[in-house]
Amino acid sequence: MNSCGKYVKEMRKQYSLTQEQLAAKAGVGLRFLRELEADKPTLRMDKVNMVLEMFGTKLGVVSKEKQIEL
């Protein structure tokens, strides 16, 4: 798990949710969630945070080597 998208995908599966369910719960569009899991780089931070909050996380500053830091 070395990217934001992979993180979301793995957490989603841990919670046994479909993309559709997670998107609905997080309040974002299905298409956006898919782009997030595919690590599209141009996503808006607020939308990404709406998803990450479902897992008690959010976007923050990390060192360049690291990707996930909890």
Partner DNA sequence: GGGATTTATACCCGATAGGGTATAATCATC
Partner DNA sequence: GATGATTATACCCTATCGGGTATAAATCCC
Contact residues toward a second copy (CB under 8 A) are 4, 7, 41-46, 48-49, 52-53, 56-64, 66-70
Give the residue, chosen from 6, 10, 25, 47, that forms a contact with DNA under the rule CB under 7 A: 47
70 binds, among a second copy, DNA, none (CB under 5 to 8 A by kind): a second copy
In the DSSP assignment, the letter for residue 5 is H
Using CB under 7 A as the binding rule, the residues of this chain from 48 to 67 that contact DNA are: none
In the DSSP assignment, the letter for residue 2 is -
Q: How far is CA 16 from CA 8, 12, 40, 41, in A?
A: 12, 6, 23, 26
